[in-house]
């Protein structure tokens, strides 16, 4: 309760809305991000990282197939994925934080290989990861880089969406 002057009743803040449960796909992205971070920073082998992530609490709640595709794909295709987003950076890839680099790899992987996921969803999911795991304004950076990367990787889909307008599906 907030303190109120003696002649007024105290006010209460409305209760916070309950958090929406995370989808299995979002959890798979979070685990893949953590695995990529471990791979980049700890220089552990892909198999070791994979096994370690599968041992984490609540791994059973994620989309394991999507996690496998993301982590394995990003590790095995790290150089080509980085080449997809590197032209849109304001600094060399090596100067990115490991979190930003991992998120950009995940977003680029989904844009390149997960064509069942609309490009705007792939970008939004990467932005959400950056909001949770990244630096203060990292989500803005990720959004800008992946938006430009999407124009390269999915030009027809981006052009069609822009013709329909920003609010239409």
CB 32 within 8 A of CB 61: no
Quick one: what percent of the chain has pLDDT higher than 90? 59
pLDDT in tens, 62-100: 898 999 999 999 999 999 999 999 999 999 999 999 999
Residue 9 has pLDDT above 60, yes or no: no
Residues whose CB falls within 8 Å of the CB of residue 133, separated by 6 or more in sequence, listed in order = 30, 33, 99, 103
How far apart are the C-alpha atoms of 92 and 98, rounded to whole Å? Answer: 13
pLDDT in tens, 93-121: 999 999 999 999 999 999 999 999 999 99
């Amino acid at each position: 309760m907030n303190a109120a002057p003696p002649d007024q009743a105290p006010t209460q803040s409305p209760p916070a809305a309950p958090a929406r449960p995370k989808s299995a796909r979002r959890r798979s992205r979070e685990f893949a991000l953590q695995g990529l971070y471990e791979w980049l920073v700890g220089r552990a082998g892909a198999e070791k990282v994979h096994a370690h992530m599968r041992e984490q609490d609540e791994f059973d709640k994620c989309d394991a197939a999507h996690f496998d595709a993301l982590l394995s794909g990003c590790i095995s295709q790290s150089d080509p994925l980085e080449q997809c987003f590197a032209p849109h950076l304001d600094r060399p890839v090596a100067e990115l934080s490991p979190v930003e680099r991992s998120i950009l790899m995940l977003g680029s992987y989904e844009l390149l290989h997960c064509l069942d996921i609309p490009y705007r969803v792939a970008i939004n999911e990467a932005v959400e990861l950056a909001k949770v795991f990244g630096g203060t304004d990292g989500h803005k950076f990720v959004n800008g880089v992946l938006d430009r990367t999407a124009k390269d990787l999915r030009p027809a889909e981006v052009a069609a969406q822009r013709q329909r307008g920003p609010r239409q599906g």
